[in-house]
Amino acid sequence: MNDKTIAYILENVPAMIAFHDTEQNIVWGNRDYRDACGIDADQLAGKKCWIAWGLSKPCQNCPVKVALNTGKSAEAVITREGQGHWPENQGAWHVRATPATDDQGNIIGAIALAFEITKRKSREKIRLEEAQDRFRAIAENALDAIVLIDEEGKVVYWNPAAEKMFGYHAAEVMGKDVHAVLMPEEYQERFKKGFEEFRKTGKGPAVGKVIELTAKLKPGTKIPIEISVAPIRIGENVWVCAIIRDISARKRLIEDLQQTRDLLQAVLDNIPLMIKMYDPDGRILLLNKTFENLIGWSKEEAEKVDLMQEIYPDPAYRQKAWKFMRSTAREWREFSIKTKNGDIVESVWTNIRLPDGNQIGIGMDIRDLLAKDNALKESQKRFDLLVSRLNDVIWSAKMNGSIIEANHAFETVYGISEEDLKRNPGLWLEVVHPEDRRIAEDSARQLRNTGLAEAEYRIVRPDGEVRWIRDRKSLIYNEKGQPKQMGGIINDITELKKKEEEKERLQKQLIQAQKMEAVGRLAGGVAHDFNNMLSIILGFTQLAMMRLERSDPIYAELEEIYRAGERSASLTRQLLAFARQQTIIPEVLDLNACVAEMLKMLQRLIGEDIEIAWKPGTNVWPVKMDPSQVDQILANLAVNARDAIKSVGKLTLETENVVIDEKYCARYSYSKPGEFVMLAVSDSGCGMDQGTLERIFEPFFTTKGQNGTGLGLATVYGIVKQNHGFINVYSEPGQGTTFKIYLPRFAGTIRGKTAEQHQDLPRGKGETVLVVEDEPQILNFCKKTLEYLGYRVIEATNPMEAITLAEKHSGKIDLLLTDVIMPEMNGRELATQIHSINPNIKPIFMSGYTSNVIAHHGVLDEGIVFVQKPLELNNLAKKMRKALTQK
């Protein structure tokens, strides 16, 4: 096959083919390649391929680059994703690249074969617009030199392209002999004679033709040109219009093509296309290496067999292939080819008819493409399936609002079918909750104004159910930046809104609990200081009363002072109970028995007009707490019920075993899971509104005006919390109130209450007591009281002084009476150090509130003897004797 045939084949292959040198510069591209990128051959040569295609940088995964770097064939599908500037009219391309080598095996370039694998958008329209643009550019800015010559051979017009080509401005050549300006000296006479002949006869070698000449430039250099001339009649005269093109680049290209004959052969052999040439009778004239390697027959072997019969064994199928091979249609058609070893190759073929009647068949192995196409289809199916299964609504619409598409989730969320929505696009707004319609309308306006919008609002389904949705949408723009569609995603956030509401409710509960805790700490601190003062008041009042006869008028006055002090002490006890800083001595109790013992006292407390209904639970579990605290709870709740009922009514007491689960705890954050004994106290009183319910456990909050202290329910709250329980309150105005108290179950045996035996005031027998108290007045009271009771007293105002006195004292010290909270060290630490000095000493601790030094969560440590402030003579005397007799 000669060079022209090869060139003709490559030029007319209905596929884009280009040869690149080792620097990725385009050496040559065939007609389809040039048409696709819109660049002429002389402008295409030497360009980087990405520049020819209008890109700002090389393509990612460029097969040409891979083939040049690795020496192996490569292919890739190249789309706009991840690329630089990508022209709007470009689609996706499947590119194969094969390295080309010389006789020594050196890589001298790469052959690229490209196929568009997606439809170009409005390709004919785009090409027409491009052609119109090119025509306009040519008409307004001709690249060819246009020279107008009068009948005497003088230049009368010289366009800008001529100025650029030859280096002369129009003013320099106007009126000059064109031959002297353009022709080299050795050709001037010959061309003058030709021009004379043309002027006389109207004929000449360049008239109506395109001929090649040599022209000179202003600097004196010569260039090859292509010129065509045409006569133009101007009045009686005949002028000449010469169109001149600089063909230097073309000449160089031709020279380069002459030098790349071996390269063209390499292209033919290495191109990833099957190429065969056959005569009208079907005889094989050419098989390229790609075809030979694929089918397994060489050209020489193929000439000895009926190749068509071998590769198309089925007669009917072979006849179909023959018919296509003899056609002149420039199209691709699929055929299955059988190879020499029996494999079936899926391929596509097209034909080129040569001027001499021979046919070129060009084929491509599409097995990989089919696999990728199938994979793409499977991927699309999976994507469609995924979208169809989404719980979120996905929709798109035209700019006029008519719906293009909505997935099945629309019907699930809205309760409206996609067909109904398409028939009435305004339905989406009609179902918006009337109170939220303004939000939805504002969101639609924002979308049109800014291109993006997001809003949350409610919808009302046809079945009446109200749902919250989050509506996010955006505009989709065309290549001119104009909005052409809109679309978005709608999420059903009903459950999320419910959780947010629940979170807000729990947050309020947490804030309330934190507020109660803070008030409790304040109340505990106040009670502590107050107890110290009450110890002084009550203590010295008792001492004074003991020194007087009951008949003495001052005794009665002191008695009033003492009663007032006791009432104040009761107030501080309630504060400590609320603050959970009251020292308690818990026992294992039968709650039913405790309530039953209190019934008579409760009846006296609330009066005969209020009926008490007692409903004890069966086999109620034991609880562990201080019995006096049960009495405090019942008394406070009963008094509150009496005040709420005002006249005739009913108070109901109930007990029951309950198990609290995680679901209950999730709703009531202050609760905890486990087994509890529930004590319910219900009244038929006036009830409470929500505002009152939120504050009932706050200290000093009362609805009774001057008749209430506001500490009753605060005390109940503190006692329950101190015993690791919790409270629920149910109340509505006019419907009464129920307090449900949950106390943890104790796994153990029940011991009944032991009645305290009446006994006389215990007195000392001359034992020595070391008293440590940093409050001087309390220290003075303790000294006088203990001496009155028959004890010898050593005083210390701080721990260090006490240690010094213990070390210096020569006799026996029987008891240590110390405050718990003091500067330098606490009472327990002091007791430890004193014990190291005097191992037989017995400690007694006193304090106005519970300290973790001697108690854990208000529960006294085992074996500790404790005296609660404010100090009282009888209690102090009993504790002293208990410490002395305790082993």
**Alpha carbons 148 and 164: distance in angstroms, whole number:** 16
pLDDT at 131: 46
pLDDT at 101: 83
Query: Which span out of 140-149, 448-457, 567-576 was modeled with the highest average pLDDT?
Result: 448-457
pTM, two decimals, is 0.35
- Nearest-CA neighbor of 53 among 11, 22, 95, 13? 95
SS3 assignment, position 59: coil
77-86, 504-513, 605-614, 667-676, range with the lowest pLDDT? 504-513
Question: And the tokens for 766?
Answer: 């001359």
pLDDT band for position 675 (cuts 50, 70, 90): very high
pLDDT at 527: 65
- pLDDT tens readout for residues 287-303: 888 888 878 888 787 77
- pLDDT tens readout for residues 114-124: 877 765 434 54
- Nearest-CA neighbor of 736 among 613, 820, 840? 613
pLDDT at 98: 87
**Alpha carbons 498 and 666: distance in angstroms, whole number:** 13
Cα first-last separation, the chain: 125
**Alpha carbons 334 and 314: distance in angstroms, whole number:** 16
Percent helix, percent strand, percent coil in the chain, to nearest 5: 45, 25, 30
Question: And the tokens for 330?
Answer: 């420039």
Mean predicted confidence (pLDDT) in 234-245: 78
- In degrees, to the nearest 5, what angle opens at C-alpha 744 toward C-alphas 743 and 748? 125
Residues 864, 823 contacting (CB under 8 angstroms): no
pLDDT at 411: 80
682-696, 708-722, 766-780, range with the lowest pLDDT? 708-722
pLDDT at residue 619 is higher than 50: yes
What single-letter DSSP state applies at residue 297? -
pLDDT at 757: 38
131-145, 584-598, 702-716, range with the lowest pLDDT? 131-145
Dump the DSSP string for 781-833. Answer: HHHHHHHHTT-EEEEESSHHHHHHHHHH--S---EEEEESS-SSS-HHHHHHH
- Nearest-CA neighbor of 200 among 235, 231, 174? 231
**Alpha carbons 540 and 682: distance in angstroms, whole number:** 44
Q: Side chain identity at 870, as an amino acid letter?
A: P
SS3 assignment, position 272: coil
**More confidently predicted of 136 and 714:** 714
- pLDDT tens readout for residues 223-238: 898 888 878 776 667 7
Q: Side chain identity at 508, as an amino acid letter?
A: K
Residue written as token pair 């699929």: 334
Is the CA virtual torsion 125, 128, 130, 132 positive or negative? negative
Task: Give 819's strand partners.
Answer: 846
- pLDDT tens readout for residues 432-450: 999 999 998 898 899 889 9
Residues 643, 585 contacting (CB under 8 angstroms): no
Angle between helices 494-546 and 553-579 (to 10 degrees): 160
**Alpha carbons 799 and 295: distance in angstroms, whole number:** 108
Residues 299, 1 contacting (CB under 8 angstroms): no
Mean predicted confidence (pLDDT) in 334-359: 83
Mean predicted confidence (pLDDT) in 879-883: 87
pLDDT band for position 796 (cuts 50, 70, 90): very high
pLDDT band for position 490 (cuts 50, 70, 90): confident
Q: Is 234 exposed, middle or buried (0-12, 13-18, 19+ CB in 10 A)?
A: exposed
- Phi and psi at 9, nearest 5°, equal -60, -50
pLDDT at residue 29 is higher than 90: no
Residues 100, 132 contacting (CB under 8 angstroms): no
Mean predicted confidence (pLDDT) in 688-708: 72
pLDDT at 139: 35
Question: And the tokens for 366?
Answer: 């599409």
- pLDDT tens readout for residues 816-874: 999 888 888 888 899 999 989 988 899 998 887 655 556 554 555 667 888 877 777 88
The DSSP element (H or E) to which 469 belongs, if any, is strand 466-477
177-181, 259-263, 329-333, range with the lowest pLDDT? 259-263
pLDDT at 630: 85
Residue written as token pair 């050709």: 187
pLDDT band for position 324 (cuts 50, 70, 90): confident
The DSSP element (H or E) to which 847 belongs, if any, is strand 842-847
Residue written as token pair 């019995």: 627
| 868-877 residues labelled b (16+ CB within 10 A) or e (exposed) | bbbbbbeebb
Average pLDDT, the chain: 80
- pLDDT tens readout for residues 70-112: 888 888 888 777 676 667 666 677 888 888 888 788 888 888 8
Dump the DSSP string for 146-192. Answer: EEEE-TTSBEEEE-HHHHHHHS--HHHHTTSBHHHHHS-HHHHHHHH
SS3 assignment, position 394: strand
**More confidently predicted of 357 and 748:** 357
Q: Side chain identity at 493, as an amino acid letter?
A: I
What is the number of residues in the chain? Answer: 887
pLDDT at 769: 93
Question: And the tokens for 265?
Answer: 């052969």
- Nearest-CA neighbor of 687 among 635, 730, 633? 730
pLDDT at residue 404 is higher than 90: no
- Nearest-CA neighbor of 73 among 295, 262, 293? 293
pLDDT at 862: 67
